[in-house]
Chains A and B, each alone.
Chain A
């Protein structure tokens, strides 16, 4: 995820300056112990880093309709989209 992100957003919290969100779509994920399933098409996986570049959260989120590699409402949630994969 962090080595091959599809999108990188800057500014993830209103109360904490800075922070980053890396997103991508894995092919599969664990839905419970020993059960692997295809990653849902309407979701995107997000990894959050604080301003010290420490990972503090990773989770699936609903994908935006205008860009399935972005979490829903990304235009209002982050300060900006700073990197977009072209591959």
Chain B
């Protein structure tokens, strides 16, 4: 098989993980459930749905402008607290973030359907630790 052009520059074995993660260079949350090619369908300024290039089913999403959403709505409406060991961990709820993103735009049928589709199959890991949400 042809070598990937970045092979010499990467360490470790490539691994696909179907978990949401915060991309600090783009200030966005990325989530992809299947390790296959997808096409991005931009819903609005804050939400993009990823559809499989093989059969067009939704295989993930991207929430953009995370810091702007937090500034607009504050941590109180987005954070869930959980106990971890001796201390308390603040995590941000991805569904709460999606609801906040929905409130930011016009209440159109297309947007409502798109946001509903994303929320119908939420990630198993549905929170991200608040201390990870630091833009680079």
A residues sitting closer than 8 Å to B (CB atoms) are 13-16, 29-34, 40, 43, 46, 48, 50, 52, 54-57, 59-62, 71-73, 77
Contacts and interface: CB of A to CB of B under 8 A. Distances in A.
Given A14-B45, A54-B136, A60-B53, A32 B23 contact: no
A43 B23 CA distance: 24
Interface stretch (B64-72, B86-94, B107-115, B117-125): B64-72
A77 B23 contact: no
B132 interface: no
B36 interface: yes
Interface of B: 1, 23, 25-28, 35-42, 45, 50, 53-54, 62, 64-65, 67-68, 136
B27 A32 contact: no
A77 B54 CA distance: 26
A69 to B, nearest CB: 16
Nearest to A71: B42
Contact of A32 (B1, B54, B67): B54
Query: 6 closest A-B pairs (Cβ-Cβ)?
Result: A56-B26, A56-B25, A15-B68, A32-B36, A15-B65, A31-B37
Contacts, number: 65
Nearest to B30: A57
Given A16-B65, A32-B54, A50-B25, A73 B136 contact: no
Nearest to A40: B53
Given A31-B54, A32-B54, A50-B26, A60 B65 contact: no
30 contacts: A13-B45, A14-B45, A14-B65, A14-B68, A15-B27, A15-B45, A15-B65, A15-B67, A16-B27, A16-B65, A30-B37, A31-B37, A31-B54, A40-B53, A43-B39, A43-B53, A50-B26, A52-B25, A56-B25, A57-B23, A57-B26, A57-B62, A59-B38, A59-B39, A59-B50, A60-B38, A60-B53, A62-B39, A71-B42, A73-B42
